[in-house]
Amino acid sequence: MGEKEQGVLKIAVIYPELLGTYGDGGNGLVLVERARLRGYEAELTSVAIDEPLPDAQIYLLGGGEDGPQRRATEALHTDRSIAHRLNDGALLFAVCAGLQIVGISFAVEGGSRHSGLGLVPLETVRGEKRRVGEILVDVDGRDLVGFENHAGHTYPHDAEPLGLVKRGYGNDGVVDGVYQGGVIGTYAHGPVLAMNPWLADELLGHAIGHLLEEIDTPADRLYEARRKAVRHSPRTP
Ligand code: GLN
């Protein structure tokens, strides 16, 4: 990662009024605050459904119910700019419904299938049951904690997953999320970047172009406590 030309670091939360039911917009706040704590100028924008996507280095998609998820996908198809922005080096961090949207297709209640943005080769069908509870994912030896609440079962095909599921379900009971071509996704809510500050720092490091110095905030300490608690909790069937 080479240092990138640094102006204001722009972070855009896409359609929080549709994809914000689980507080995932908080991921944007975490990124901005952790960048500022390192002395970077950072700006957070919320994009409304009728607005074009602004220029940003990191875009965020959150989770949501089936109906809003479909509407958000249609709006992103109409906007058409996200793939170009990723080609130009932007990152997209997507949670749950957001993760399903960035794939090739997803099915919602009643079975109807919808075209996703096709940014990564994921396909989501309706699973046998809704997956609700704690999730623990091993991401290259680091623990990612959060909670999941979704009916989707996501086939990764050739997509590079974010990590291996240790507790909970994730995409398919084996892997969770995606980490490929500027798209980082997970089924974990929390907001997941508040619960896992190291992942926020990894995203910031990519956007800025180098690893960031460690900081010690209450969130970093809470993460340590949480991951130990989840590791020692009983496995869910
Ligand atoms: N509507 C999707 C599902 O149930 C996503 C839910 C969510 O974002 N939590 O699978």
Cα-based distances in Å from 94 to 33, 75, 187, 217: 19, 16, 8, 24
Classify residue 227 by burial, with Cβ atoms within 10 Å: 0-12, 13-18, 19+: middle
pLDDT tens column, 34-84: 999 999 999 999 999 989 999 999 999 999 999 999 999 999 999 999 999
Q: Please work out whether the CB of residue 153 comes within 6 Å of at least one atom of ligand 1.
A: no
CA 120, chain centre distance (Å): 13
Residue 171, both tokens: 């995409």
Q: Which atom of ligand 1 is nearest to the CA of 130?
A: 4
Q: Please work out whether the CB of residue 125 comes within 6 Å of at least one atom of ligand 1.
A: no
- Ligand 1 centroid – CA 41 distance (Å): 33
SS3 126: strand
DSSP H/E element including 60: strand 58-61
**So where are the chain's domains?**
9-232
Specify whether domain 9-232 bears CATH 3.50.50.100: no
Please provide the average confidence, as pLDDT, over all residues in the chain: 94
Cβ pair 167, 236 in contact under 8 A:
yes
* Candidate from 15, 18, 69, 106 with most ligand 1 atoms within 8 A of CB, to mutate: 69
Q: Please work out whether the CB of residue 64 comes within 6 Å of at least one atom of ligand 1.
A: yes
pLDDT tens column, 116-138: 999 999 999 999 899 999 999 99
Task: Please give the model's pTM, rounded to 2 decimal places.
Answer: 0.95
Q: Which residue has the tokens 């249609």?
A: 74
